[in-house]
Amino acid sequence: MKFPTFREYRPLKNLDPLVNIADYLGIHLLRNFKQLSLGLTKLSFADNFEGFSVELEVPAGQEVEITNRLDRIPSQRFVVRGGSGAESVVDGDTAWTQEKLYMKNVGASQAVVTVLFLK
């Protein structure tokens, strides 16, 4: 999402200082706040958080390796979508590192899920 660049207040030399301030507040700053307000109402979940999502097929009883796209080990993870068996996908037995993450299916059938990892 792209937000407006705020215009810096610079008084015009030939105008009264109060006229300069009124012009800045009434025209430039108000326009920026309207654009910013409109933009903020259209933010998605991904726009609000640093993270990434992956779609996984995790066989029953197996652990899968995921490349970590963050510059650190994620602080949170959410299984945000899945069919049957999604509730069986948990953190893997292997410790997470800055390079690799692991998820495991503890269920009796394959699970197809989307996992969101957050910084």
Per-residue pLDDT of the chain (119 residues; tens, 9 = 90+): 565 566 665 666 676 777 777 777 777 777 777 877 777 777 777 777 889 999 999 999 999 999 999 999 999 999 987 777 778 999 999 999 999 999 999 999 999 999 999 99
User: Are 67 and 86 in a shared domain?
Assistant: yes
User: Are 25 and 79 in a shared domain?
Assistant: no
User: Are 76 and 100 in a shared domain?
Assistant: yes
Domain that holds residue 114: 47-118
- Taking the whole predicted model, whether its pTM rises above 0.75 is answered as no
- Cα separation, 75 vs 87, in Å, equals 20
User: Are 28 and 61 in a shared domain?
Assistant: no
Where in the chain does DSSP place strands (E)? 51-58, 63-67, 76-82, 89-91, 100-105, 111-118
User: Are 6 and 54 in a shared domain?
Assistant: no
User: Are 57 and 107 in a shared domain?
Assistant: yes
User: Are 12 and 54 in a shared domain?
Assistant: no
